[in-house]
Amino acid sequence: MRPARVIAIARRDLALELSGRRGWILPLILVGLLAPTTVARVPLPRAPQPVSLRVRGEVPQAVQALEFVQDDDRPQLDFRRDDGVLIVRANGIRDDVRAALDGEAPALQVKRAIRPIRLPGRTLLFALISASTLTGAVSSSMAGERAAGTLVGLLAAAVTRLEVVAGKWLAWGGLGALASVLAACSAMAMGRVTPGWWLLPLPVVAPATVALGFWLVRRATDVVTGTTVSLRVLPAVLSITGLGAWFLGRVDPLLGASVPLGGALVAAGGTWDGLLAPLVALCSSMALSLACLWMTARDLEDAPREAPPGRTLRAASVTTALAAGVWWLPILSPILWGAAGNPTLTDDLPRAAGVVAGGLGLALLALSGAASTPSILQALGLKRSPDVRWIAGGVFAGVVLALVPVSGWAALPVSPSWAAVVERLGAASGGLALSGAGSTAALLGQELFFRGWVQHRWGPLAAVLAYVVVITPLDPLAGLLVGGVSTGLVHGGRCGVWPALAAHATWTVLCLL
Amino acid sequence: MRRTARALVELVAVLVRRLLREGMVRRSLLWPTALTAGTLVATLIVFASLQATETVGVTRAVSAELRGVIEAAGFEPVFVSDAREAVRNGTWAAVDGQVLWTNDRGPRALQLEAALREALEAPWRPDPVVPLPQTADAAPSGAAVCRLVASLFALYGVVFGLGMVARDRDDGTLAAELALPIPRWVPGAARWIASTLLLSSFYALCVATFAAIMGLPDAAAMARHGAAACGAATAIGLVVVGRAGLKQSFAGPFATGMGMATGLIALGNTHPAVGSWLPLASVFTGGDGWAPLAGTLVAGALASAIFAVRAARE
């Protein structure tokens, strides 16, 4: 690693972004966000305001004597006597009420045992703001160069991959570190914060975030891709590692400090006393930075273009598993409320919304898959003109399916606790017994995905099997019949998904009638 | 006119396809829904599996009779050396002779307290009411999640609006589009429509999912607010990109766009009466969402016009 070259690359990166009139925007935004955090005085916590207490029934004198107690027909505390014992109906009892009821000699005392919680101070914000403002720079620095074709030139120059990555890291990580240190110095000069060991991990948060960002977007081929990745992943990583470090730090500060990135973030907030924890936080985040930089340099030239999913069994299985998740999640999840102790919610939640979500999810999944082919419409089976004879065949098949209900003929034997799953999947399979929106979503989603995308990509057998696995896993014979008829119409007609859509629509309309 | 309309449709289709081809973009669009819904489902599964028994720490000083009372009330007594320390270290509740240590003041703790008071023949005892939330109680939480997701999709909107122009300018695609015999606002409008369509569709998936698993006060209105936010954010991206490309100054316009989008969202939070009329600002306010949706169309038209004047100028 040659420092002069690393610095040259850093200067080049900074010059590209920070030169000219527009070059002032990023520093100005950094200053605009950091200045209020630096200057503002932290307001003193307000004393808790007294809250009124609504009571009813045989309220004891000691409770009546409390402040802000008022009789009300919608009470928080409802008093009555039962065999000489005072019963207090409530879903929570305040400590002052409990003390009033207990009197001098309580039979049972209820006490809290809270471990004092130390929260990070405002200096955490210096690190957080400096790190999060660099999302755009991180994305454009790597993915932008790749998209613009300048990365090839850079890699062809007499510099190593590691020097390229280190130079870019120095530019943006350095800017973030500088911003956070300047903010800290200003706050100290104005007396808003006092110096401490928190200064040690403060400057490593932004560089570690930048290094992680580079690694995340190392294969991104354009800035949109890179930015969407860094935009969704970096805040999540900062929050999760920060919270994780804070919780672990309650057990032992060194444990919390050893969490890369999060440890430095929490330590920068002055959460832990002493030198050791900030030092460990500094080291863990630096180690993360070095690892990310090394892995980014290793993969720098590896930018595979997204290829359409292969025609392999594995690709078909992954697609089917995704479809199962998309279909089952909104349809079956409400059952969990009942299992968690609130069956009313399970019964009250709108079922049609689940089918709408499932159908929309399948349609979007089909669209996403088809986007990687030369023609979306062809991949979804919508390109060809409808053939009237096959449409009529589809309508006939729909009438037959409606007249001969196949559901439940050979359902798999399941335990009674699974009855709700069987019933919900069965009702959602054709969008039957649901509103127009639910039925339409089921119709479009299922046909575009199974008879459109899956059949186009993996053939009719895969389309039928995927339909059975996703839509009728507990009633496979019904799935085989319905899926087989629809797939057969599409395969035989060679005029796209239109006959299957006609069959499904006829079946649904007749069932709704 | 017909040629312009056809060019617009073709460009929108191409741009949607180009965005969807990128695996990272696809994952980004699915991520918020998968993360929020997945977390809720995982929480429910954990809650369902844990609700059977609650552990209560008891010291050796607690009599066998009292331990039996605790067990009969549906709790599992386990021995601890120090009740106070056990609760400090995370045990839900612990009993130490005549002291019940717990930081929970809810109905479940009241159940334990009632059982103990009855056994200790106290002059009073609580009779806990365990209110089960109805759909009307759960729906505001579902709405809160959808609003947060809408904010994230709005930030994606800024990225899409800004990035699509910057990327296409640098790889020459934009120059090719501007050379076509069509009005100069068409490439901008196509980018606005493509981004808004795509983001709104994936946001609608989030709204429908949460309407199904948590309930929403008005799912259609929520989807309209989200679509308005996505459209307005894309318009902001198209406006701030100006003449920026990737070879120079992407980070500055990006930070400006993010600042404007989050500023509008904050405006809606602080001034709901104003925010409910404006796209993006309306995300955290009530209303039926029609006014912001109309507003986002105006914003889209304005952004396309500004794009034609500024960004498309070579």
Report the pLDDT averaged over residues A462-478.
90
Closest CA to B17 of B198, B234, B202, B238: B198
Rounded distance between C-alpha atoms, residue B103 and residue A507, angstroms: 57
Would you place residue A27 in the very low, low, confident or very high pLDDT band (cuts 50, 70, 90)? confident
Q: Tell whether B229 is covered by a domain.
A: yes
Q: Tell whether B26 is covered by a domain.
A: no
What's the pLDDT at A51?
77
The CA-atom distances, in angstroms, between A362 and each of A327, A357, A488, B6, B34 are 7, 9, 20, 28, 14
Domain count, chain B: 2
The domain boundary, picked from B94, B119, B144, lies at B119
Q: Tell whether B46 is covered by a domain.
A: no
The dihedral built from the CA positions of residue A340, A345, A351 and A354, taken in this order, carries a sign that is negative
What's the per-residue H, E or C state across chain B?
CHHHHHHHHHHHHHHHHHHHHCHHHHHHHHHHHHHHHHHHHHHHHHHHHHCCCEEEEECCCCCHHHHHHHHHCCEEEEECCCHHHHHHCCCCEEEECCEEEECCCCHHHHHHHHHHHHHCCCCEEEEECCCCCCHHHHHHHHHHHHHHHHHHHHHHHHHHHHHHHHHHHHCCHHHHHHCCCCCCHHHHHHHHHHHHHHHHHHHHHHHHHHHHHCCCCCHHHHHHHHHHHHHHHHHHHHHHHCCCCCCCCCHHHHHHHHHHHHHHHHHHHHCHHHHCCCCCHHHHCCCCCHHHHHHHHHHHHHHHHHHHHHHCCC
**What amino acid occupies position B91?**
T
Q: How many CB atoms neighbour CB B174 within 10 A?
A: 22
- Are B114 and B212 found together in one domain? no
The domain boundary, picked from B67, B88, B119, lies at B119
- Are B113 and B257 found together in one domain? no
pLDDT tens figures, B223-264:
999 999 999 999 999 988 866 555 556 777 888 888 899 999
Q: Tell whether B11 is covered by a domain.
A: no
Q: Which residues of B touch A108 (CB under 8 A)?
A: 98-100, 113, 116-117, 120, 122
Instruction: Give the three-state DSSP class for A81.
Output: strand
What's the pLDDT at A45?
67
Closest CA to B209 of A214, A354, A302: A354
8 Å CB contact between A234 and A216: yes
Closest CA to B88 of A145, A115, A85, A210: A115
Q: What is the ipTM of this complex?
A: 0.84
- Are B110 and B249 found together in one domain? no
β-strand B54-58 against B75-79: which pairing, if any? parallel
Q: Tell whether B207 is covered by a domain.
A: yes
- Are B164 and B211 found together in one domain? yes
**Window 112-141 of A, Cβ < 8 Å to B:** 112-115, 133-137, 139-140
The dihedral built from the CA positions of residue A64, A70, A71 and A75, taken in this order, carries a sign that is negative
- Are B296 and B236 found together in one domain? yes
Q: Tell whether B29 is covered by a domain.
A: no
- Are B154 and B290 found together in one domain? yes
Chain A touched by B263 (CB under 8 Å)? no
Write out the H or E segment, with its range, that includes residue A412: none
Closest CA to B24 of A329, A457, A238, A368: A368
Rounded distance between C-alpha atoms, residue B153 and residue A231, angstroms: 10
Shortest CA distance from B152: residue in chain A: A232
Q: Which residues of B touch A139 (CB under 8 A)?
A: 250, 254
What's the pLDDT at A431?
55
Give how far B249 is from chain A: nearest CA, Å: 4
Token pair 């004891």: residue? A60
- Are B172 and B270 found together in one domain? yes
pLDDT tens figures, B28-71:
898 889 989 999 999 888 888 766 567 899 998 888 999 999 99
Give how far A194 is from chain B: nearest CA, Å: 30
Give how far B69 is from chain A: nearest CA, Å: 14
The angle at the Cα of A419, spanning A416 to A421, to the nearest 5 degrees, equals: 135
Chain B touched by A333 (CB under 8 Å)? yes
- Are B141 and B87 found together in one domain? no
- Residue B196: is its pLDDT beyond 60? yes
8 Å CB contact between A478 and A472: yes
Given an 8 Å threshold on Cβ–Cβ distance, is A330 in contact with B208?
yes
- Are B161 and B303 found together in one domain? yes
Report the pLDDT averaged over residues A92-101.
88
Residue A21: what are its φ and ψ, rounded to 5°? -60, -40
Q: How many CB atoms neighbour CB B44 within 10 A?
A: 21
Rounded distance between C-alpha atoms, residue A77 and residue B163, angstroms: 58
- Are B66 and B149 found together in one domain? no
Q: Tell whether B68 is covered by a domain.
A: yes
The shortest CB-CB distance from B103 to any of A113, A224, A357 is to A113
**Window 138-157 of B, Cβ < 8 Å to A:** 138, 152, 155-156
Tokens of B40: 């809720």
Q: Which residues of B touch A93 (CB under 8 A)?
A: 105, 110, 126
Would you place residue A208 in the very low, low, confident or very high pLDDT band (cuts 50, 70, 90)? very high
Range(s) of the domain holding residue B177 = 136-311
CB pairs under 8 A between A and B: 287
Shortest CA distance from B220: residue in chain A: A353
Chain A touched by B131 (CB under 8 Å)? yes
- Are B147 and B290 found together in one domain? yes
Closest CA to B157 of B122, B117, B183, B194: B194
Given an 8 Å threshold on Cβ–Cβ distance, is A89 in contact with B127?
yes
Surface-to-core class of residue A42, CB atoms within 10 Å of its CB (0-12 exposed, 13-18 middle, 19+ buried): exposed
What's the per-residue H, E or C state across B88-132?
HCCCCEEEECCEEEECCCCHHHHHHHHHHHHHCCCCEEEEECCCC
Shortest CA distance from A360: residue in chain B: B205
Q: Which residues of A touch B25 (CB under 8 A)?
A: 224-225, 228
Interface test with A, best of B18, B25, B121, B202 (most A CBs within 10 A): B25
What is the DSSP-derived secondary structure letter of residue A258?
A: T
Chain A touched by B249 (CB under 8 Å)? yes
Q: Tell whether B43 is covered by a domain.
A: no
What's the pLDDT at B245?
54
- Residue A304: is its pLDDT beyond 70? no
- Are B167 and B250 found together in one domain? yes
Given an 8 Å threshold on Cβ–Cβ distance, is A353 in contact with B219?
yes
- CB proximity list for A376: less than 8 A, separation 6 or greater: A367, A370, B13, B17
Report the pLDDT averaged over residues B266-282.
90
Chain B touched by A147 (CB under 8 Å)? yes
Q: Strand A85-90's sheet: what is its strand order?
A: A69-71, A53-57, A77-82, A85-90, B124-128
- Name residue B78's beta-bridge partners: B57
8 Å CB contact between B59 and B78: no
Tokens of A262: 């999060």
Give how far B270 is from chain A: nearest CA, Å: 18
What pTM value is reported for the model? Answer: 0.79
What's the pLDDT at A142?
78
What's the pLDDT at A311?
67
Given an 8 Å threshold on Cβ–Cβ distance, is A85 in contact with B124?
yes
Tokens of A226: 């890179």
Q: How many residues would you count in chain B?
A: 314
